[in-house]
Each structure stands twice: as structure tokens, then as C-alpha cells.
Structure 1
Amino acid sequence: MAGETARRRQEVLRAIVADYIASQEPVGSKALLERHHMPVSSATIRNDMAVLESEGYIVQEHASSGRIPTEKGYRRFVDDLHEIKPLSRAERHAIMSFLEEGVDLEDVLRRSVQLLSQLTRQAAVVQLPTLTVSRVKHCEVVALTPVRLLLVLITDTGRVDQRNVELPAPLDADSVHRVRDLLNSALVGKTLQDASSSLADLAASAPAELRAAVVSACTVLIETLVEQPSDRIILAGASNLTRGARSLPSGLPTVIQALEEQVVVLKLLANVRDPGDVTVLIGEENAAEQLHGASVVTSAYGAGAGSGAALGGMGVVGPTFMDYTGTIARVSVVARYVSRVLAGE
């Protein structure tokens, strides 16, 4: 597209997408002229729509019906969104106040997905901070029985992970405290990935009387947290997808099942790694085949509004006719405010 004609066709496409998002009904040339007051004839609009259809941006389902956007049309619409209308001051204040009432990190993130699902009327997901970027703040060791320990790992992002350790021999209270001190000497201040070599060294150099217990604890930490980090997902608003069920070729149950599969969701949230950026995937742009009938809008949150390091991702999943302008704005704002809350700003 080039020149005045190209700009007009771009405006026609924008109007078709906006009208279809609002109504989920095919859009005709007469309706476009009436609603958008375009200063051209209906014949010109029909010609523009024919060109847009030939280029794959819109499609006519039936001979007598109007047009609906294709995935290519939605992509062009999103790519042409140079400015997103900001939320009102009242909306921003309400979002920040609700998030600030969170009692801990997980509560803040749970509130964030509740907000996103309510604000966008779609399904929302958030990832708890990844253990690969979190640093260990403390490792508590609790004796459940003389031969079983509970390891409670607390990171600087407030994440808590627990693991049970079976011991080959009973351990008294004093020895439990010594094991705790040894583990903390290897873990505190490090990411789990960085701490893996320290844990291995600790297992080899621990005092003889504690070696069996330390080896057992280090083995559990390395095998379950370092080699297989358990990234947890919080999901909200899946029932909202029923509104767009007819637009999801793969079927509503398939989309909901995909959202319940942690690996699928983690891949979705891995698309944006810089807080402040927003990624939009439409239809078949999604790697997961179960989501080929859906659109996904994702962002990342960090440890502060201006932080360059992402702690995790969050986003919204809905039909391809979702309100992209509003959804992008809301995902961006909620991710940014979560970053501010976590940083105590």
C-alpha cells in the first residue's frame, strides 16, 4: 500500500477490524460509511474491500454477507497501533490499590491475573518468578522426623519452595542446625544454577558425621530444583473463553486444556523477556497447535518499573477478535504496576 489510496484502505481495514471486534458480525460497505463517515462513495469502499480481500486481510464468508478480518488482517491492525490509549487515572489508581493490598508475592500475582481477567474479559495467566533468575535468600531446615527433613527455600523475590529429604540415618537437633548452616553457606546469594557447583562441593567436603545427610539434601536440591526447576503458573478467568467459543476452530476444551498444561503456558510467557514490552501472537503464530484459534497478549514483570531483568511473564488468552487496543494497554499497565509493587515503589 502506498499514498493516499493506501492510507484510505488502511483506514478501511482498521474500521472493519474495530467493528467486527465490537459486534462479531460481518461488516458491510454501507455500515462502514454510516458509522465512520468516510468522505468517499460506497463504490470506492466496495473496491477497497475487494482489494483488501484479494490481499488476504479480510474474507467474505457468504456471497451476500459483509467481510470479517483474517489473521493477517488482525496482524496488520496490531502492527499499525502506534499509540495505545492510556488508562484513566481512576483505572490506574484502582489497579495499583488492589495490587498493593497483596500480602506477599504470590498474592500480588494472584491479584494481577484476577485483574487482567476482569479488565479484559479473557483468560489470564501469570508465571511465578523463575528460579533461574531468583537468588536464594535463606534455606530453612526442619526435622519432620529423625530420618526426614523439610527444606524450605526462600528467594529474594519472595518465592518459597519446599522439598522433603529422606535420611539414611537419624539426625539429632544439633546436627540439623549444622546441616542448615552448611546449606546456607553454599546457597545464599546465588541463583540455583550458580549454586549447583557449590552444592556438589559441599556434598564432597562435609564433615564425616554429617556427610550422609548433606549428600541427601544436596542431591534433592540439585535434582529437583536445579535440573528440573518447577515454574508455577496461576490461571484466572478461563470461563471467559466461552464467549468466544465459536471463534476457536480447535474447540474451547482444547484451548482450556492447553492453558492447564504448564509447559504450553511457559512457552507463551517466554516470548517477552523485557519488562515494558508487549508481544501479540495471533492464531497460527502461536507455537501450540491447540491455540491456533486464539490470540495471546503477553508482557513481563521485573523487580521495579524500570528494571531490565524479567522475573516472570503474564498475559491474556482470548479469541482472535479480542479488543487488541484495550488488552495491550491493560496487560502493559498491570505488568508495570506489579513490578513497582514488588520493588516497594
Structure 2
Amino acid sequence: MLDERKLAVLRAIVEDYVATREPVGSKTLVDRHQLGVSPATVRNDMAVLEEQGFIAQPHTSAGRVPTDKGYRLFVDRLASVRRLSIPERRAIESFLDGAVDVEDVVQRSVRLLSQLTHQVALVQYPTLTRSTVRHVELVPMDRSRVLVVLITSSGRVDQRIVELPGDPGDHLIGELRGKLIAAAVGQRLPDASATVADLITTFRPEEQPLVTAVVATMTRAFSDERSDERVAVGGAANLARFGTDFDTSIKPVLEALEEHVVLLKLLGEATSPSMLTVRIGAEVPYEELSATSVVATAYGSTDEPLATLGVVGPTRMDYPGTMAAVRAVARYVGQTLSD
């Protein structure tokens, strides 16, 4: 365990190194930070930190830089994630307020997050298996076709035209609409699929072929998992600013970020909007990304998380600022989709 003074020294080293990318010496720390001790005492504290693996000396006669272990302790000892300023929060809100649909929300969010953090932003599309049915509508188009409209809690609107084996008539359309709403609204999509299938036998035999055509289309919409596998990526060019932060080349990092399986794995540990997940260096589950850190969280309500978002950047990251931006964007994305 480190005492508060050594923790203050470590915090100062992390902050200075993130800001300057220059190894930090004891005299610099005393000059820049109100540590209340002499350079000799700081040197002793730095020696302890180095011995315990929290900082390292990149070469002889240089200052010290944080290790992955040092960044980990720094993040773990943050008293709280700082709040964004009022102008920053207003900018996020106004930027997302103009979105017209789920696709637009995701694309705006990934651009916004990459601009706020200057990192690579990842935003998973709302996961259907976590969504619930908000509304179902049947709109007759002519005597043998009906438009099925599904609206989910994630804000997704799915419209499908059903070719019917006959004229359903207004009465049957109205009865089916009412039963679909009663059976499906508020249900998670996988559960709703089974519930609406049970409705077929509640209709008269001569009506069942028409009802089956509509129900089959509804269940296909409920089980369409394409969006579960989609991740929007933005700001990859930001990594060019940090080229020297990577041991050899940023090419393996960029190649890894092109694999959606990798992206889903990076975001997969974030399961609750109330908690941020931070993985640093070797904690990231891919060797190609061992020089990076990942900050992620879920978005949506605490009871109903819809998907995840986050950023990937070098371990020399502004963790307090990045964590604040990720948390704030996730909160506004959840609110926007809910509205």
C-alpha cells in the first residue's frame, strides 16, 4: 500500500507525462505541483514507486514514466469521474437533438465522441435482444397487402409489407392490431416472438392464414439480429497523433480495429450504464492492442441497457477527461433514444 504522498507523486507523474509525453523528473514535479516536500523526498518516493512497478525509467539519466500498473492505480484511485462543463454538456445535447433516427443517433455519437476525446470512438448499434416492443401498428395498403410497423425501445422503426392470401377486412385488421399490441408491447423482442405466435389459434380457422402471414413477418422482425453485430467506428485518424506511443507501428492497432469481432469483444464487458469499464495495456484481450487502453460503458436505462460505446487510445490517455466524455455521451444517447 502506498501512502497519500506517494500517491500524489504518482498522480503528478501521470498528469505531466500525459500532457507532455516527456519523462518526468523530481525537480519538475516540485516546480509544477504543490507537493510540500523537497526534491530529495520526491526522489525517494519515486524510487519506491519504481521498485513497486508503478513507474519506469525509459533510459539512463531520464525522468520516469508511468507503467500500465501505474495507470491502473491512478484510475482506480480517482475519487470520482469529473463532470463535463456546462458548455460541453450543452454541445453534446444540441448535437444529438438533431438526430432523425437510430442510424443518425449512432453516427452522430461516434463523431461526437471521437471529437471530444481525440481517440478512436466505438458505438455499438442498439441490441435487439435487449430491446422491448414500444408499439405495433398495422396499416392496410390495399385489399391484399398490409404494412407492419414495429417500434422498439431503442428507437428502431421497422416497416415491412406483408402480402396476404386474401382481403382481411377492417374488422380483422383492427382485432389483430389490438391483440398484437396487448401481447407484445413491453415484452423483450425474443419473448414477444413466442407470445405473438400463440395468437394464431385465437382466431377463426378461415382467418388463420391471413393472421399467420402477419405474425410470421412480426416474428422475423423480432429475431432480426443484424444490428447486434454492427459497430460504428470514428476517429481512427486520431491515432496518427500518437504514433510514437506505440512500440513499433500503429498498423497492427488499425488492423485489429477493422475486425468487428474484436470491437464487440472490447465493448462486451460494459454491461451497465452506471459503470465505466477501463482496460489498460495488457488488460486489453488482444496482443495487437496491448499498447492501448479501452474506456467503455453501456447506454440506455439501468434496467434496460441497449448497447455499448467507448473509446480506444494509447495508454498515455487523459483518463479523467476521457471517462467523463464517455459517460456523458452514453447518458445523452440513452436519453435521445428513449425520447
TM-score strictly above 0.5: yes
**Where does 1:135-146 land on structure 2 (aligned, <5 Å)?**
135-137=132-134
Provide structure 1 residue ranges, at least 5 long, that are not aligned to the other structure.
Answer: 144-148
User: How far has the Cα of 1:185 moved from its partner?
Assistant: 8.1
What SS does the aligned partner of 2:128 have? coil
CA contact (8 A) 1:276 1:336 kept: no
Q: Name the aligned partner's letter for residue 75 of structure 2.
A: V
Following the alignment from structure 2 to structure 1, what is the Cα–Cα distance between the partners of residues 289 and 154? 31
Is 1:325 matched with 2:320? yes
CA distance in 2, matches of 1:154, 1:75: 42
Q: Which secondary structure state, in structure 1, belongs to the residue aligned with residue 257 of structure 2? A: helix
Aligned to 1:293: 291
What runs of 5+ residues in structure 2 fail to find an aligned partner?
141-145
> Aligned residue for 1:134?
131
Check if 1:157 corresponds to 2:154.
yes
* Alignment match of 1:18 (pick from 15, 18, 22): 15
Q: Cα gap change, 1:257/1:172 in structure 2, threshold over 3 Å: closer, same or farther?
A: farther
Query: C-alpha distance in 1, partners of 2:191/2:333?
Result: 27
User: What percent of counterpart residues are identical?
Assistant: 50
Q: Distance in 1 between matches of 2:112 and 2:103?
A: 14
Q: Say yes or no: does 1:92 pair with 2:89.
A: yes
> Which residue is equivalent to 1:283?
281
Q: Is the 8 A contact 2:129 2:188 kept in 1?
A: yes
Q: Match for 1:293: what amino acid?
A: A
The CA deviation string for residues 241-290 of structure 1, in whole angstroms up to 9 with x for no partner, is 11223323474233233333333222332323222321211112122333
Q: Output the CA distance in 2 between the equivalents of 1:203 and 1:57.
A: 65
Partner of 1:257: 255
| Cα distance in 2, alignment partners of residues 290 and 204 from structure 1 | 55
Q: What do residues 224-257 of structure 1 show as CA deviations (whole Å, max 9, x unaligned)? A: 9638553122221111111223323474233233
| Deviation, structure 1 residue 14 | 0.7
**RMSD, aligned α-carbons:** 3.7
Q: Distance in 2 between matches of 1:208 and 1:30?
A: 88
1:146 — aligned with what? Answer: none
Is the partner of 1:230 in helix, strand or coil?
A: helix
Match of 2:54 in 1: 57
Partner of 1:235 in structure 2? 233
C-alpha separation in 1, matches of 2:196 and 2:246 = 48
1:163 shift after superposition: 8.1
| CA deviation after TM superposition for structure 1 residue 43, in Å | 2.4
Structure 2 equivalent of residue 122 of structure 1: 119
- Output the CA distance in 1 between the equivalents of 2:167 and 2:14: 67
- SS across alignment from 2:313: strand
Q: 2:110 matched to 1:107? A: no
Contact 2:155–2:337 under 8 Å retained in 1: no
Mapped partners of 1:120, 1:198: distance in 2 = 44
> For the residues of structure 1 that align with 2:328 and 2:41, how far apart are their CA atoms?
40
Q: Does the residue aligned with 2:232 lie in a helix, a strand or coil?
A: strand
Structure 1 residue 246 corresponds to structure 2 residue 241 = no
Partner of 1:28: 25
SS in 1 for 2:264: helix
User: 2:71 and 2:279 mapped to 1: Cα distance?
Assistant: 10
Superposition deviation, residue 336 in structure 1: 1.7
Pair 250,197 (structure 1): closer, same or farther in 2 beyond 3 Å: farther
State the distance in 2 between where 1:276 and 1:186 align. 31
Deviation at 1:56, TM superposition (A): 0.6
Deviation at 1:298, TM superposition (A): 1.1
Letter in 2 for 1:338: V
Aligned partner (choices 327, 335, 339) of residue 334 of structure 2: 339
- Report the 3-state secondary structure (helix = DSSP H, G, I; strand = E; otherwise coil) of the residue aligned with 2:311: strand
Q: Which moved more, 1:230-239 or 1:214-223?
A: 214-223
Cα 1:174–1:129 shift into 2, 3 Å: same
TM-score by length of 2: 0.81
Structure 1 residue 315 corresponds to structure 2 residue 315: no
What amino acid is aligned across from residue 287 of structure 1 in structure 2? Answer: P
- Check conservation: 2:138, 2:148, Cα contact below 8 A: yes
CA contact (8 A) 1:150 1:162 kept: yes
2:252–2:288 contact (8 Å) kept in structure 1: yes
**What residue number does 2:143 align with?**
none
Shift of the 210–258 alpha-carbon distance from structure 1 to 2, 3 Å rule, reads: farther
Q: Secondary structure at the match of 2:130?
A: coil
